Amino acid sequence: MLGENHMNLYGAKELADSFRTVRKNTILVAEDIPEAQYGYRAAADTRSVAEMLVHIASAPGLQERIHGAERRTTLEGFDFPGVMGKMIESEKQPRSKAEVIKLLRENGDRLAR
């Protein structure tokens, strides 16, 4: 069991560092996947590789909106279906491998700052 003193070991800096590490590894994977495979779907009703990577790149925007721009203390009244609909629409936009990787970099860097 962790004592109260251990609760402060994982603060904003550590969270940002962990986020950067995960994002760096995601970009490495995205770079390793051949562009010809970006359209691959494991099953018909799943996201393609490109769509999943765009989804990962877009997810920080939801956190920025809720916690940063809107500074919500509750999610009451938050339009999840509307926000998710726009995210899914964005995921379906055709993008090159370079554009997807750029999106991963830019959105991840912005949130980590």
Determine the Cα–Cα distance for residues 94 and 90; give it in Å rounded to an integer. Answer: 9
Do 56 and 62 contact (CB within 8 A), yes or no?
no
User: pLDDT of 77-89, one tens digit each?
Assistant: 999 999 999 999 9
Distance of CA 90 to the CA centre of its chain: 13
User: pLDDT of 54-103, one tens digit each?
Assistant: 999 998 888 888 988 999 999 999 999 999 999 999 999 999 999 999 99
Determine the Cα–Cα distance for residues 33 and 67; give it in Å rounded to an integer. Answer: 33
Query: Which neighbouring-strand residues pair with 48?
Result: 41
Mean pLDDT of the chain: 88
- Strand ranges (DSSP E) for the chain? none
Please report, for the chain, the start and end positions of each structural domain, with discontinuous segments joined by +.
Answer: 12-17+37-112
How many CA within 13 A on the CB side of residue 111?
26
Q: What is the mean pLDDT of residues 41-63?
A: 93
Q: Which of 16, 89, 104, 18 is CA-nearest to residue 58?
A: 104
Q: pLDDT at position 107, please?
A: 82
Determine the Cα–Cα distance for residues 39 and 50; give it in Å rounded to an integer. Answer: 6
